Amino acid sequence: MTFARFFRLLLPCLLLPAVLHAQTLRIGLAEDPDVLDPSLARSFVGRIVFASLCDKLFDIDEKLAIVPQLATSYEWAADGKSLTIKLRSDVVFHDGEKFDGAAVKYNIERHKNLPGSNRRGELAPVSGVDVIDATTVRFNLSSPFSPLLAQLADRAGMMVSPKAAQAEGDKFGTKPVCSGPFRFVERVAQDRMVFERFAQYWNKDAIHFDKVIYTPIVDATVRLANLKAGQLDFIERVAASDVGKLEAEKKFKVAHITEIGYQGITINLAKSELAQKNPLGRDARVREAFELALDRQGLVQVVMDNEATVGNQWVSPTNPYYVKGIPVPKRDIARAKALLKEAGVPNPSFTLVTPTTSEAQRLALVVQAMTREAGFDVKIQSTEFATSLNMADQGQYEAYVLAWSGRADPDGNLFSFYGCKQPLNYPGYCSLETDALLAQSRSARDPVERKKIFEQIAARVLKERGIVYLYHRNWLWAYNPKLTGVRSLPDGLLRVSGLRFAS
């Protein structure tokens, strides 16, 4: 055998592993997702997986604008009580079933009616869906609801195959059948989720991988170690303290994306009688003093290694709906002390319920130290997550470190938290006028009009300080530099369309 012939035979063998490798995308997640059923799903990390598995009616872009996905266009009726949506005609589910208007109707009804569905509240104002024809549906609303589009750009807009859903019932999540770029192959709990390319995907030209494997690795250090060791191509939620070194080494790319959620401290205003027993819950001046004693920039620096943006509202200062008239207050110890003196409590003491996560613990410690200078005596009570949820729900707390992952429409960061008796209203804030304003913000469709309403809401709720917003964290991703097409979307979810390994 001549050398040339040997080489010609050998070369493809050498390339083969490279070719095979380039076709699988390995993603490291920070948690094991819960059930893979868009109606029952309840975790943030599950949405990352859904990005490969299930297409939605709409999606959002980097500016949080609504863009079409399974839908092609939409049109509001003049009175805002119905929304007509035109659908793509070339979409097929993973099991071969056709996606059409009837499928949309089925899915919306499933989201609303399946026992245990977490989408019920999101689609509450939708009274029904009319199928006009195979590519047109009309959503009928009991009252105008502008956040609807944003809901349909998330899990409430995910479309599953009606045939599979009917067959599996509530066990659908163990064998999901959707219409996304990848189809479900297998899931080993806490080990991996494997998806393979769906050949009939409507946008198949944008998909350059044959397989996607999601691996949950809870420990951030170990997750990063896996990336560095070459076992993963992409990881989410890199620890802020690792970013500096990563960027200096220049071996991996790092993405910093300001989240649409926030980190804050929730204060018990009226959720239970406990609120009135404590000066913090009782007196708005004490709460104002508390906020003035905080140095948000210092918090961001120490707690998040500068991987966050200071904020004081439910949306970040770069968001179009941020109320510029109420900027982030600067630290003012003198004024804080004066307020406390005026309120007659120079050394208020309260317990801060803190989850056991590393960030929350650091945050609590720094807040404790910062506010001590104004005379506050903050006692840190570390509580396991499950227990803390219970405590908050029953109002058995004085202050609580609580973050929110955020929703595309500001209503998602607002309504559940300040509406009277809403499930996430842990402060126990209740005001009929605010409720009316919240309802108005939902009916108005013009962004300018909504902004004015949000300004009014801000003026009312921010001075009560039921939630002291601290900062907006950065989603930190690290990935193989050969990976191109990574889009930095503010919801922190990686989109697989357009991703490829540069050759």
Partner 1 sequence: MAAVLEAVPPKAPLQAGPWRRAGRRLKRRRGAIAGLVVVLLFIAIAVFAPWLAPYDPIETSWSAIRKAPDAAHWFGTDDIGRDVLSRVLWGTRASLLAGVVSVSISLLLGIPIGLAAGFLGGFVDGLISRIVDAFLACPFLILAIALAAFLGPSLTNAMIAIGVSATPIFVRLTRAQVIDIKVEDYIEAARAVGNSPWRVAFRHVLPNIAAPLIVQSTLAIAAAVIAEASLSFLGLGQQPPSPSWGSMLNTAKDFIDSAPWMAIWPGLSIFLLVLSFNLLGDGLRDALDPRQR
Partner 2 sequence: MFDYLAKRLATIVPTLIFVSMLIFGLQQLLPGDPAHVLAGEEQDPTVIAYLRTKLHLDEPLPVRYGYWVGGVLKGDLGESIRSQQPVLALVEEKLPVTLELAVMAMIIALVIGIPAGVVSSVGRGRWWDYAANGFALWGLSTPNFWLGILMILLFSVELGWLPASGYVSPFEDLRANLAAMIMPAFVLGNAIAAVLMRHTRSAMLQVLSADYVRTARAKGLSVPVVVIKHALRNALTPIITLGALEFGTLLSGAVLTEQVFTIPGFGKLIVDSVFNRDYSVVQGVVLVTATTYILLNLFADLASFVVNPRLRK
Residues 377-436 that bind partner 1 (CB under 8 A): 380-384, 387
448-465 core/surface letters (b: 16 or more CB in 10 A; e: else): eebbebbbebbeebbebb
Task: Give CA–CA dist 179/233, Å, rounded.
Answer: 24
Q: Of 34, 95, 342, 433, which lies in the binding site for partner 2, with binding defined by CB under 8 A?
A: 34
The answer to whether 245 contacts partner 1 (rule: CB under 8 A) is yes
Nearest residue (CB) to partner 1, 118 versus 301: 301
CA distance 252 to 109: 44
Residue 67 binding target from partner 2, partner 1, none, CB below 5 to 8 Å by type: none
The interaxial angle of helices 240-249 and 220-228, nearest 10 deg, is 20
Distance CA 475, CA 100 (A): 35
Q: What are phi and psi of 310, to 5 degrees?
A: -65, 150
Residues 285-324 that bind partner 1 (CB under 8 A): 298, 301-302
Buried b (16+ CB within 10 A) or exposed e, 335-356: bbbebbeebebeebebbbbbbe
By CB under 8 A, name the one of 34, 95, 219, 393 that touches partner 1.
219
Binding region for partner 2 (CB under 8 A) out of 51-59, 322-330, 385-393, 476-484: 385-393
x/- map, 98-137, partner 2, by CB under 8 A? -----------------xxxx-xxx---------------
In the chain, % helix, strand, coil (3-state, to 5) comes to 35, 25, 40
- CA dihedral (426, 428, 430, 435) in degrees, to 10, reads 10
Choose, by CB under 8 A, the member of 96, 244, 327, 329 that binds partner 1: 244
Please name the residue ranges forming H helices in 373-408. Answer: 385-393
Token duo for residue 133: 């024809």
Examine residue 166 and tell whether it contacts partner 2 (CB under 8 A).
no
Nearest residue (CB) to partner 2, 188 versus 448: 188
Whichever of 89 and 241 has its CB closer to partner 1, that residue is: 241
User: Looking at 60, 220, 292, 462, which residue binds partner 1 (CB under 8 A)?
Assistant: 220
The contact set with partner 1 (CB under 8 A) reads 219-221, 224, 239, 241-242, 244-245, 298, 301-302, 356, 358, 361-362, 364-366, 368-369, 380-384, 387
The contact set with partner 2 (CB under 8 A) reads 32, 34-35, 37, 41-44, 115-118, 120-122, 170-171, 173-174, 188-191, 215-219, 221-222, 225-226, 228-231, 384-390, 393, 404-405, 416, 423-424
